[in-house]
Structure 1
Amino acid sequence: MTNETVSKSPRKPVLPWFGAFFVAIIAAGVALNLSDIKDPLVANLIMASPMVFIVKAGLNAMANAGTQGAVGSPTRNYLKRMLIVSLTYVGSLIAAVMLIDEGDPITPLSMIIAIVPGLAVVGYFWAIGRFILEVKDEFIRMLNIRQSLIATAISLSAASVWGFLENFEQVPHIDAYWWPILWFFGLGVGGIANKITYGTAGDSM
């Protein structure tokens, strides 16, 4: 089967599955608030169940990238890595919540359990870095690097300002894992900046 034949395959929907994910997340949160579920395992499984929509969106996006042949290979690899990292993050976070209770003694095992979700977040940065290295189009690579730099400027600037405010007891403490979350939000800002400046947001990120 040639690349020309493959490229004519109908594109699979992606955005509707992301929409279903956000709707399911809200529905799960409302359901937990209205219910009397006390079992943390059941509660976590309910909150994690919308991940099936993310998996479907990722698989569809990978299939769409596969229709582009060698050009789409970096995007397909990127999406595959991001999907694996996402599942690892959710699974390890649920495990940590289930296995580590507040007040438990710190042990080597508890440290290992607690560190895995953080390492999964590191995996996101690794996947993005690999994509930038693998993509062949210099313009797309520039857009993604610019997008990452904007995200980095936003997250590190916010962390610096908030850190000094917190040090002088002007604001409450914020857990450090919120800064990578802000970085991912910054990717969206960077994509919008690319769209305004160059007419396109880039690829995948």
Structure 2
Amino acid sequence: MPRDLRGETMMAQESASGWRQRPGFYAGMMLGSFGAIAGLRLSGAINAPTGFILMAAAMLWMVPLVRTGMDRQKRCGMLSPAIVRYNRRFMLASFGYMLGLGIAVWLNERFDLAGAVAFAVALLPVVPTLAMVWTMARYLVEEDDEYLRHRSMIANLVGLGAVLSVGCFYGFLETFELVPHVPGWWAVPVWAIGMGAGQGWMALRKKDRAEG
């Protein structure tokens, strides 16, 4: 069955199954949870360790997000073995990043870290980040479908563009002392949001072509 026809069939199935079967719902819930937690943290309603615990809990939205995303890809014939491995690896690395970041911040606030110990603690969220990079590179090597590989590369470029744009814009605002300092590790969630936006943009384009 051609991909366009599979796309039309998939959209009809999604309409019949309801909004809870759509990846966008769970992505919105996860981003909304992150926004609410960030607002509580900035307002001083919760401390940093509590914020990271809540952030880690909000990451559980990734489970139904990945599941419904894989179901969607399977229905439209775009679920390859390489994507299954990529989703599993990336989800594990994402949980490792949030866990490592939370532990590192908690240890830094509770103890007077210095020297090699501080360096080792700082690596806790770095290692999962490197695992994300390895996961993306490995997927591009393992993926045999040129169309799926192209979609992944475009999404990653959108994520990279988001990091460069937001980082440059905010960096200049910070240089002129218009905004407070933001830690550099925020580049990871900005990149992830940008990559998700890239995937959503390509899905909307595909939907528009199918309806047209």
Q: TM-score, normalised by structure 1?
A: 0.64
2:198 pairs with 1:190: yes
Aligned equivalents of 1:62, 1:193: Cα separation in 2: 17
Instruction: Summarize the alignment of residues 22-171 of structure 1 with structure 2, pairs less than 5 Å apart.
Output: 45=53, 48-55=56-63, 58=66, 72-101=80-109, 104-167=112-175, 169-171=176-178
- Corresponding pairs, count: 189
Shift of 1:117: 0.8
Counterpart amino acid of 2:151? L
Q: Call closer, same or farther: CA 1:115–1:24 in 2, change over 3 Å.
A: same
- Give 1:181's aligned residue: 189
Shift of 1:48: 3.2
Q: Could you tell me whether the CA contact under 8 Å between 1:150 and 1:186 is conserved in 2?
A: yes
Aligned equivalents of 2:64, 2:182: Cα separation in 1: 33
Segments of structure 1 that go 5 or more residues without pairing to the other structure are: 1-12, 201-205
Summarize deviations over 1:112-155 as a string: whole Å, max 9, x none. Answer: 11222133223223222222222211112112212222222232
Q: Call closer, same or farther: CA 1:99–1:130 in 2, change over 3 Å.
A: same
Q: Secondary structure at the match of 2:182?
A: coil
Shift of 1:108: 0.8
- Give 2:3's aligned residue: none
Aligned equivalents of 2:187, 2:166: Cα separation in 1: 8
**Alpha carbon RMSD of aligned pairs, Å?**
4.3
Segments of structure 2 that go 5 or more residues without pairing to the other structure are: 1-20, 208-212
Aligned equivalents of 1:122, 1:156: Cα separation in 2: 19
Larger RCO, structures 1/2 (Cα 8 Å, 6+ apart): 2
Which of 59-68 and 118-127 deviates more?
Answer: 59-68
Q: 2:206 aligns with which of 190, 199, 202?
A: 199
* Percent identity between the two aligned chains: 22
Runs of 4+ residues deviating >3 angstroms: 13-32, 40-69
Aligned equivalents of 2:165, 2:31: Cα separation in 1: 29
Counterpart amino acid of 2:122? A
- Give 2:4's aligned residue: none
Q: Secondary structure at the match of 2:92?
A: helix
Q: Which has the higher helix share?
A: 2
Q: Could you tell me whether the CA contact under 8 Å between 1:159 and 1:179 is conserved in 2?
A: yes
Q: Secondary structure at the match of 1:174?
A: coil
Q: TM-score, normalised by structure 2?
A: 0.63
